[in-house]
Copies of this chain bind each other. A is one copy, B any other.
Amino acid sequence: MKEKHNTREVILQTATRLFQRQGYNGTGLNQIIEESGAPKGSIYYHFPNGKEEIAIEAISMMRKLVLEGAEKDLTGKDSAAEAFEYYLNNVAAIFDLKSCIDGLSIGLIASETAFTHEQLRYSCEMVFKDLQSQHAQILMQYGFDREQAEELGITITAMIEGACILSITYQDGNPLRRIAKQLSLLLKRSQETQGEKQNGNE
């Protein structure tokens, strides 16, 4: 019954949600306190370095949520194409109920802070690198060779991140569904080409 950490945790969860929806500059500490219901006086006790410290930990939380969510959807399917199609269609469904995009898209905070907050930029860079690695790992599990998996890892990360922006802007999940389909085709064809390579073609 360690309800001692509750306040800190609640602040962090609320901050994570707000940073994703409104960005770093668009979210004030007051709003975080109000929406979290946390005690007003507690924020600088739990986060002595203020807003930037909260953001760093929020990014870390987003990282955890995205990686775990992806892992769950991407494993145990029959092929890489099927796995990513399943994953992206699930993400699309989240965007349809436009209230909640928890654990998605650090693209906003990344591009906001790239030129102005080096520490936050670096945190985001690490998350993107983790995503690329995860995608590459998954592809190798489905039979891609390392080189091609790494090439595709960054491509998939970019496609997903871009599709999230489009879905947020359009306020529906259709762009993600389109990307799901195209990525599925790309993966099928890549795997065929890879096979040809092994059989001596080029």
Contacts and interface: CB of A to CB of B under 8 A. Distances in A.
Interface of A: 21-23, 25-26, 105, 107-108, 110-112, 114-116, 121, 124-125, 128, 151-152, 154-155, 157-163, 165-166, 168-171, 175, 178-179, 181-182, 185-186, 189-190, 193
Q: Which 7 A-B residue pairs are closest in the complex by CB-CB distance?
A: A162-B162, A158-B162, A25-B25, A161-B162, A155-B182, A25-B26, A158-B163
Mostly, the A contact residues are helix
A110 to B, nearest CB: 5
A104 to B, nearest CB: 11
Given A107-B165, A108-B108, A159 B170 contact: no
Contact of A112 (B22, B128, B160, B186): B22
Give the number of times this chain occurs in the complex, counting copies: 2
A116 B107 CA distance: 17
- With most chain B CB atoms within 10 A of its CB, the pick from A121, A152, A168, A181 is A168
Contacts of A190: 185
Given A108-B108, A115-B22, A178 B155 contact: yes
- With most chain B CB atoms within 10 A of its CB, the pick from A22, A107, A157, A189 is A107
A68 to B, nearest CB: 21
A165 B161 contact: yes
